[in-house]
Structures are given as C-alpha cells and as structure tokens.
Structure 1
C-alpha cells in the first residue's frame, strides 16, 4: 500500500498547482472588451442593440436579427477586422461594408430604406461621438455616401465619397465616448449613410460602423439614443502588431489636442486614404505619424501585454506559495504544542 504524502508535500503541491493556474491564465491568449461603435449619429448595430435583441422594435432590426441572430447585436461593439492594417477595401468586398465581411453581422448589410436614421443638417457644425468600451490610439475617418447611393441596394465602396469628410487622430475621450468635432458636408439631401473606420495605430485592428442619416427631418433627433453601459459587448482576442506584443507606445509629457484634418485627394471610389495615399496600404491609419498621440494622454493601451501579465502572475504565485507555507507552519506549531 503506497505511503500517504506528508502534509508539507501536500501543501507544496497545492501551492504549485494554484501558482500554475495563475500563470497559465495570464500567459494564455489575452482578451479585452471589444471596442465600440458610432454613437451619434447612431450606428445600425448599436441601434438594434438598444432596441433590444430579443424584441426589436423596427422592421429593419427585426430583419437583421432574423438573418444573423441576436448575438451580433449583443456584440454591438465588435464589428472589426483584427489584422486590417489599413487594408479596408482589400478585405471588405462590396455589399459587406456594414458587417466588415463578418458572417455574424450579415444582417447589418441588408439593403433597406427603413433603417432607423438620425436627422442631420447639411453644412452644419456637428459633434460626432463614438462610443468606446476599450479606448486605443488611432485615427477615425468618416465618409458619407455620394450621388450613386441607393439605400435599397447593397452598399458599395464606390457609393462613398472618395475622401473622408472628417479625419481625427487620437480624439478626446469624454464619458466613454470619443468626441469628434466637425462639420456635416454641404449639399446632402434625403437618406444617406455615414461610414466610420477606426484604425488603431497601436495594432493592425480596425473597427467599422454604418450610421443611417436623413436630411429631411424625418429621423430621430441627434444625441437622443441611450448610451450602452460600459463593458457591454463581446469579448475577443487582440491581434498585436507583429513584433510589438501589444507594447505601449511612449506618451510625451505634453500631448497636443485632437487634430482634425481636411480631406485630401485620393483615388475615386477608394475611401481610406489620407493625402495621396491610396487605401488598402499600411500607411492608412498606421503609427508612422509622430503627431498621433492621445489628447491629455488619456487613451489606454489595452492590447495584450504579456510582460505585465507575467509580473502579476509571478506575484500571485509567490502570494499563494507564502500562504500555503504559513498554513503549514501553523499546523506544525499546533502539533508541537500538542506533544
């Protein structure tokens, strides 16, 4: 009959097992909350989430959920491509812009003229807002549809104006929302769509959203939609930039305020460029610009940082081991007194 292990050995094995669990949980694939969607004007996916995925109110959201299911709407802040790196048009085919070519979000691509819309005034100043559940450094580019757009047909890249009407790098984060001050393009009429691309500069990851807007006063008033609670949405794995392991970039002591750039010329039907850079290249939203720093140094680096996790895990392992040894010492003292 095999001998029973000593109390010391049992405690040591337990401490090692607990420490191993702490390390394995940290060294595994890093996860963080998905990142957000356009809040004002309200995006399709967030609008359906706020209606209630189980009992949506609008016909468009009912149709989208019937096609893609409810989970996509609960995951409203996860319309993304992990390795986009500025290659938006290369990775997203025509007709799949609102879903970012993700099958789970296919309902967002339904061509309909009855998507809930936000009323805007052409040519007016407007503060666009983007709800962020996990903030990052990066650049926002907002495009609006052109004269070829028909809401009853699938959205194509050629239906967007060739250059963004608003470009903002590292905007201020206020109450969980990125603040993007700008101006609504002039000359817009009827039902249109604003397409937002948020390209991170600390990772290849990018996020996308479609916001339906109208210029005839028939839509909802801007800013009237409820703001989702922080942390609501899908959990997903971050893809860090090659060789960076999600390492935080240096933040200067005095960070400039958010910059709003005027759109420059880029090839027709090729949204995503800045200056003369065509979209679909790493330069689109890449971290090469030294001016891309957070306003007030308030943007979190929330990609996977395994070095920080390792330090925390090692500390946890020491605490667990120390606790186990303390228990063992107390047990030995009681035995000594008993004798």
Structure 2
C-alpha cells in the first residue's frame, strides 16, 4: 500500500506525526516479512551430524561457514536454510522414495519443502564428516524439533560409491528401520532428539553417506537427512 505524504500546503505537526507513524509501521512490516521464520515441526540427524546441522554449527561458531562445502552452499542458497536446518521436508512425501524423489536430489528431499536446500545435494568430498568404525554399533540422535509418531528408515551408500557422484536411490542399502524410538530432551530445542542404535556394515571403508528417511504415521509429511561419514 502506497503511503501518501502530507499535502505540502499543510504544516500541521499532527499530520506529519501521523505520516511518520505510518511510514515506520510499513518499514517494520517489510523487515519482519523478510526475516527467516523458524519451522515448527521438523528434524534431521544430529549424530552423525547431517549436512545442514553441521553447516549450521559451523556458521554459528565462525560467523560464516569455514568448511568449503558449507560456504559454497551458503553462497548458492543463502543462510535461511541453515537457520532452518531441521526443516528438510516434504508435506506430501507419504513414504515415497524411488520414482518420486529424483536421483541427485535426495539430500534436499526433492526440493518440495518451504526452504531451498538444493545446494546441499552437491556431489563433493569436502562436506563435514564424522569418523566411525565399520561394523560398530552407533547411537543415532535425530532432532525432535517437534515430536511425531512414525518410522525412521536408515540407509548407507554401497561399496564403490564415490562422494563426487550424485546420490541416487540405487546407491543406498537399507540397514535399519525403527518405529517410534525414545526421546531425550524437550521438543523445540537444539538438543532434544530421538535416539536408537544402528549397526554399521563391516564391509565398508572410506567416505559414505548415512541417509535417514523419517516417515510420519499421522500425516503425509516426511523428513530427509544426509550425514557424511568416514568408515575406518
């Protein structure tokens, strides 16, 4: 809405005050609509850390991400996705995988959510990684930014996969599935999370992706998480 200045012939202080008040209100509204808004019902892996979570921590600790892959992602899609690191989602996912989310777009959930996570699909070997031992049993911690019932399917990339090639469904092997795991900490906090144990394959070495697909049982909303790991 355009705000008309007071008539030049009028020197009324009251009119000027009203004009300034309207102008300030309009500017505040413009600023507020341009700020990133927090998502309300989401989550990604915190341990091993997902790309969005570790890049967010990098940004908070350093002002701008020091990791080159994180820095490139911010240069491409800005910081709003990182302030919403837990919001890689599709409101109509409905448990669908291959044939619905295109190969090369798995880490962003197919670009179907409210934020642009497309830059986090980049096929490169310098994303932040977590070192793990092949064949070991690890505890997965998955953010419960908002708690929902459902299943968590855990995949890992197959032997021979390279981090410099786009991630496709054919690259993944399902290694675990859990329904309604326990939670620790409160929902809506940085530290709150679901947790459960997963045994890693013993025949993998080098860099891989641990991919978690959260399928809500009370709605069609799904969540997606790519964690870069190095298996020794």
Superposition map of 1:202-217 within 5 A = 202-216=218-232
Question: Normalising by structure 1, what TM-score?
Answer: 0.52
1:211-230 alignment, distance < 5 Å: 211-216=227-232
**Structure 1 residue ranges (4+ consecutive) displaced by more than 2 angstroms after TM superposition:** 88-91
Count of residue pairs the alignment pairs up: 184
**Selected match of 1:34 from 33, 37, 41:** 41
**Secondary structure of 1:55's partner?**
coil
Q: Name the structure 1 match of 2:126.
A: 114
> After superposition, where does 1:29-68 map in structure 2 within 5 Å?
33-52=40-59, 55-68=64-77
Q: Is the 8 A contact 1:120 1:214 kept in 2?
A: yes
Residue equivalent to 1:170: 180
* Secondary structure, counterpart of 1:47 in structure 2: helix
CA distance in 2, matches of 1:166, 1:206: 17
Deviations 1:37-66 (A, max 9, x none): 101100001111111175111001001111
Is the 2:159–2:204 Cα contact (8 Å) retained in structure 1? Answer: no
Name the SS of the counterpart of 1:89 in structure 2: coil
Structure 1 CA distance, aligned partners of 2:170 and 2:75? 28
Task: Summarize deviations over 1:159-209 as a string: whole Å, max 9, x none.
Answer: 112xx2111100001122101112112111000110100000001110000
Report the secondary structure of 1:77's partner residue: coil
Q: TM-score, normalised by structure 2?
A: 0.76
Larger radius of gyration: 1
Match of 1:131 in 2: 143
How big is each residue's C-alpha offset from its partner over 1:250-292, in whole Å with a ceiling of 9 and x where there is no partner? Answer: xxxxxxxxxxxxxxxxxxxxxxxxxxxxxxxxxxxxxxxxxxx
The residue that corresponds to 1:86 in the other structure is 95
Higher strand share: 2
The reply on whether 1:149 has 2:156 as its aligned counterpart is no
> Structure 1: which 5+ runs fail to align?
1-30, 217-339
